[in-house]
Amino acid sequence: MATVNQLQRTLQATYGIVPIIAGLDKFTNILTDWSAYLSPAVKGMLPFDALVFMKIVGVIEIVAGLLVFFRPLFGAWLVMVWLICIALELITTGQYFDVAVRDLVMAIGAYTLAQLTKNKSLA
């Protein structure tokens, strides 16, 4: 049976690695064309090209992933909020509802990581 520490480390690895990989891919678009996920409303508000915006998003995601490794409580909260924001933005596209739901589920996992990390630091 897995211990709480093992579960916390598994979630920490997941929520550290996944944002870093997604962030790096914002520069290569190997996994997908990330700018396709931006709603027309968001694209219209940008003072620059959507590809530039996605690179900024990539940097934020890389930093968030690194924070999960080096400041896990703060990093977990940041990843949770970031995933909720992504889900809300996806809903405004009028499509990609499946991805929005997935990101909300992932946000719950990040919340769980934050709670496990918080409880570990209180013990």
Residue 122 pLDDT class (50, 70, 90 cuts): low
Q: Which residues of 14-48 are buried (b: 16+ CB within 10 A; e: fewer)?
A: bbbebbbebbbbbeeeeeeebbebbbeeeeeeeee
Contact 63, 56 (CB under 8 A): no
Both tokens of 76, joined, read 């977990």
Q: Which domain holds residue 82?
A: 4-122
- pLDDT tens profile 46-66: 999 999 999 999 999 999 999
Domain count, the chain: 1
Q: Quick check: 114 pLDDT over 60?
A: yes
Residue 97 parent element (H or E): helix 97-122
Q: What pTM did the predictor assign? A: 0.92
